[in-house]
Structure 1
Amino acid sequence: MSAAYATFGLAPAVRAGGVLANGAYQAHRDFLDFMVDGSPLLFQLSDLDAVSPLAADVPPAIFTAAVRGLLLQEEAPLRDGRHIIYGCPECEGLECGAVTAVIEPAGDDFVWRDFAWQTSEPVDLEWGGYHGIGPFLFEGGQYRGALAGLLDAEPAAERRRVLLIGPRVAALARLAAALRTTGVGAEITGDVSVVPAEELRTYGAVVFGVRVDACEKAAVRASFERAHADVAYVDGVAPVVPVLVAQIEQALDRGRARLHRLAGLVAAEGAADIEVTSTCRVRLTAYRLDRLSRTHVHEVYEGVLEPGIHRVPLDAKAARGETYLVARATDSVLVASPAR
C-alpha cells in the first residue's frame, strides 16, 4: 500500500425519489457521502443505487452507532472487521447487497481496504471485490474531525414539504399521495392567507395547479415573501403524476451544494441532450398525452453514460403530440419538454 495520504471529508448527497414508469415508487433519501481526495466515493461506483449509513432519516441511536463504528469505537457489524460503506436505499438488509470494506487503525491513522460487493457472510473477495478502489490511508486528525462532529451536531432539517394549490382537489390529492410515498410531505390548500407564517416557512416548494391564474399566483408569492420563506415555485407542466413528482423533486433540489452526476437535460425536436459529470446509469422516459388526454409511456433510453453531453434520438412515438421527458440518475432527476 502506498504511504500517501488520501483526504477524507463528508458532503451532502441525495438519492432522488419519484414515481417510475412502471408505477413503482422510489424513496427519497438524504445522506452524507464520503469525499475521498475531493470527490464523492460513490461516484467511483458508476452503476450503484445506494446510500451511506449516514442517512438523515435513520433513528439517532442507529446513526450514532454508524459513526462510532467508522471511528472504530464500536465493533464492526460484519465479520473480519468489515463495515457497510453503502447499502440498499430501500431497506437495511445485507441480502439486497452492500459495498463493504475493512476499516482498521494504522497507528494514529485509519485505513479503508478490501472494498467488496457483499450479499452474505463471509465476503468473497475474488468474486465481489472492487479491485480498482482503495486502499485509502486517511490522516487520523482529519478523519476524526469529520466524523466526530456528527455525534454532537443537530441534524439539519431538510424542507421536504410541498404545498399544493389549486381548485382540482381530487387531482391534487393523487399527487399528494404519490409524493408522500416517495418521502415528500404534501398538503393542499385553496387559501394561503390563512396559513400561519411559521408554517409557510416549513415548505420547500409551492406547486400551482393548471387552473391557478396569475393573480392568485402573485398573492401566494406575496404571502411567502411576508413570511420570509424562500421556496421554489412549480407550475405543473403536465397532468401526469410521475412527471409532476419528478418536477417537484427537481425543484426541491435547487441551489443545494451538491455534486450531481446528471447535470443537464435539453430537449429539441427529434432529440434529447443529456449532460453527465461522472459515469452513471441514466434512464430517459417519455410521457405523451394523446388527443383524449390519455398518457402513453415510452422508455427512450437506459444505459451507462460517460462524462460529457450525449444526444439521444427521440423516435416518432416518443416525440409526437404533447410530450414530457424525465431523465433520472440515482442522485437527481430532470424534466424537459421538446421545443416545437
Structure 2
Amino acid sequence: MSAEYATFGLAPAMRTGGVLANGDRQVHRDFIDFVVDGRPLLFRLPDLDAVSPLACDLPPAVLTAQVRALLLETGAPLAGGRHIIYGCPECADLACGAVTAVIENDGDDVVWRDFVRQSDERVDLELNGCPGTGPFRFHGEEYRRALRALLDGGAAERSRVLLIGPRVAGPARLAAALRTIGIGADITQDATDVLAEELRGYGAVVFGDAVGERERAGVRDSFERAGVEVAYVDGPAPVVPLLVAQVEQALDRNPPQRRRLVRLTAADGTADLEVGATCRVGLTTYRLDRLHRVHIREVFDGMLATGRHRIALGPRATRGEAHVVARTSAGVLVAAVAS
C-alpha cells in the first residue's frame, strides 16, 4: 500500500483523575502516548476518553509484552492483525470500547491502517471507522528505536505528590482523595531530611495553609539541592475536589503544543478558555459563601474547537470567593475568578 511517511515518537501523557461535581471519582492514569508528525495521536480523536496500552502502572512483564506486540515480535492480540491503540482507562476491557488498528510490516516500514472503534470481535470500518486517522507509514528504524527505548527503562514514572503540613484535617483529606483516584500521596511537616532518591519520586508539592513562608522556602531548597524539578501548589483553596484539580494541573508537565487545554482565566462572570485541540470540555465553578459553605455548579459541557472561547458563568456561580475548573479527559485547568 502507499502512504506518505509520518514521523513516530512517544511522549508521557496522562488521563486526568478527579473528584467530580456529582461525587464520582475518575481514575488518574499515567501512560505513554503515540506522537505522530509531532502531535499526540489521541488529539485526532477529540471525544475519546482512553489511554494507550503503554500504561505506566503495568507490571514490567506486561508492559514488555505490550511493546513487543507493537514491534510485531509477537502475534496481534485481536483477529485480523489488529492491535488496541487506545482502550478504557478504568478497566482496559474491549467491551467498554477501544480504538484498534491493523499494524503490519511493509518491507522495512511499519504501517498503521484501518483505525476503527471496536467493542467486540466484529469490525465494521464503514460504520465505526475513524475518518482522518491514518493510514500512517513509519520508517522502521525510527519506529523500532522509539519503542525499544521503553524496554531499556524509558517509561515515565507514575505520579506522586508530597503534601507539606500537619497530618490532620486538610492534608489528610486531600491525601485520601488523591489515593482513591490513583495518585500516590505522602504527608510530612519537614522535607529537610528526606533522601534525594525519595524526592525524585514526586511530581508536585502541595503546601497546606498552616505552612509558613520559612518552611516553604526550606522545602524548595531541599528539592533544589537534590536536583529535582517539581511543580508547587501554593495556598490552595479549602475544597477537596478543587484541590485535586489543582494537583492534576500541577502534574501536567507537557508543553502547550501537547495540551488540549492551554489557558484559562475568569472575571466578570465569564471564563476565557484557549483550546489547543478540538475536544469535549466541562466547566465547573466552586464558590465559598460568607459562611464558608461550598457551592458547586456545572456551567458547561460540550465540544469546543481549537481556538479561544468565552463562556458565561453567571453571577450566582462567581459571587464571593470562587474558582472555575476546565476539564477534559487529558487535562485540567483551574483559575480563580477575579473580582
Tell me the TM-score range normalised by the shorter chain. Answer: over 0.9
Determine whether 1:260 maps to 2:259: yes
Q: Using the TM superposition, give the Cα deviation of residue 58 of structure 1 relative to its aligned residue in structure 2, in angstroms.
A: 1.1
Q: Match for residue 119 of structure 1?
A: 119
Distance 1:198 1:81 in 2: 43
Q: How does 1:10-21 map to 2 (within 5 A)?
A: 10-21=10-21
The TM-score with structure 2 as length reference comes to: 0.93
Report the residue type matching 2:275 in the other structure.
V
Report the residue type matching 2:291 in the other structure.
L
Provide the secondary structure at the position in 2 that maps to 1:297: strand
Q: Using the TM superposition, give the Cα deviation of residue 220 of structure 1 relative to its aligned residue in structure 2, in angstroms.
A: 3.2
Q: What number of residue pairs does the alignment pair up?
A: 339
Q: How does 1:33-52 map to 2 (within 5 A)?
A: 33-52=33-52
Report the residue type matching 1:277 in the other structure.
G
Q: Using the TM superposition, give the Cα deviation of residue 227 of structure 1 relative to its aligned residue in structure 2, in angstroms.
A: 4.2
Deviations 1:289-327 (CA, angstroms, capped at 9, x unpaired)? 122211111001111111111001111221112111111
Q: How does 1:10-89 map to 2 (within 5 A)?
A: 10-89=10-89
Determine whether 1:163 maps to 2:159: no
Q: Match for residue 305 of structure 1?
A: 304
Provide the secondary structure at the position in 2 that maps to 1:337: strand
Q: Match for residue 137 of structure 1?
A: 137
Q: Using the TM superposition, give the Cα deviation of residue 110 of structure 1 relative to its aligned residue in structure 2, in angstroms.
A: 2.0
| Percent of aligned pairs with the same amino acid | 65
Q: Using the TM superposition, give the Cα deviation of residue 121 of structure 1 relative to its aligned residue in structure 2, in angstroms.
A: 0.9
- Aligned-pair RMSD on alpha carbons? 2.1
Distance 1:177 1:13 in 2: 23
Provide the secondary structure at the position in 1 that maps to 2:171: helix
Report the residue type matching 2:117 in the other structure.
W
Determine whether 1:234 maps to 2:237: no
More displaced stretch, 316-325 vs 271-280: 316-325
More displaced stretch, 215-224 vs 327-336: 215-224
Distance 1:227 1:150 in 2: 25
Q: Using the TM superposition, give the Cα deviation of residue 196 of structure 1 relative to its aligned residue in structure 2, in angstroms.
A: 4.1
Shift in CA distance, 151/191, structure 1 to aligned 2, threshold 3 Å: closer
More displaced stretch, 65-74 vs 86-95: 65-74
Deviations 1:191-246 (CA, angstroms, capped at 9, x unpaired)? 33454454334333222222223233233334444444433222233110011111
Q: Using the TM superposition, give the Cα deviation of residue 270 of structure 1 relative to its aligned residue in structure 2, in angstroms.
A: 1.3
Provide the secondary structure at the position in 2 that maps to 1:296: strand
Distance 2:149 2:224 in 1: 34
Report the residue type matching 2:9 in the other structure.
G
The TM-score with structure 1 as length reference comes to: 0.92
Q: Match for residue 202 of structure 1?
A: 201
Shift in CA distance, 191/144, structure 1 to aligned 2, threshold 3 Å: closer
Shift in CA distance, 5/289, structure 1 to aligned 2, threshold 3 Å: same
5+ residue gaps in structure 2?
none
More displaced stretch, 85-94 vs 9-18: 9-18
Note if contact 1:288-1:318 (Cα within 8 Å) is conserved in structure 2: yes
Determine whether 1:188 maps to 2:161: no
Note if contact 1:13-1:258 (Cα within 8 Å) is conserved in structure 2: no
Q: Using the TM superposition, give the Cα deviation of residue 154 of structure 1 relative to its aligned residue in structure 2, in angstroms.
A: 4.6
Note if contact 1:270-1:315 (Cα within 8 Å) is conserved in structure 2: yes
More displaced stretch, 55-64 vs 215-224: 215-224
Distance 1:191 1:185 in 2: 18
Provide the secondary structure at the position in 2 that maps to 1:192: coil
Q: Using the TM superposition, give the Cα deviation of residue 29 of structure 1 relative to its aligned residue in structure 2, in angstroms.
A: 1.7
Distance 1:89 1:2 in 2: 33
Distance 1:338 1:69 in 2: 48
Q: Match for residue 334 of structure 2?
A: 335
Q: Match for residue 245 of structure 1?
A: 244
